[in-house]
Amino acid sequence: MRYMSATDAKQKFAALLDAAQREPVTIRKQKRDVAVLISADDYERLCSHNAQMFQRFCDQIAKRAAKRGMTGKKLTALLANEDA
């Protein structure tokens, strides 16, 4: 990963964009990491991966709930704060 100061990022924005196409660039301000710039392709990959992982998690929870007798009707009642 490459690092760049906020001042350099501001002054060399085109170079920052080019660098982010090759690898993530961490931007530092007063010796603290404040942002990371990544390519649009990397961002799409991260979003897709996170969505897939969340869907797998939801599927696992749904299976466990179904094994324990949860139904759509019971869930609706729970969410409406009623007795099932």
Q: Where are the domains of the chain?
A: 2-38, 41-79
pLDDT of 84 over the 50 cut: no
Dihedral sign of CA atoms 25, 50, 52, 64 in order: positive
Q: Tell me how far apart the alpha carbons of residues 71 and 67 are, in angstroms, rounded to a whole number.
A: 10
Q: Which CATH class is domain 2-38?
A: alpha beta
pLDDT of 18 over the 50 cut: yes
pLDDT (0 to 100) of residue 49: 95
Reported as a single tens digit per residue, the pLDDT across 23-70 is 999 999 999 999 999 999 999 999 999 999 999 999 999 999 999 999
Q: Tell me how far apart the alpha carbons of residues 19 and 60 are, in angstroms, rounded to a whole number.
A: 39
Rg for the chain (alpha carbons), in Å?
A: 22
Mean pLDDT along residues 2-6: 96
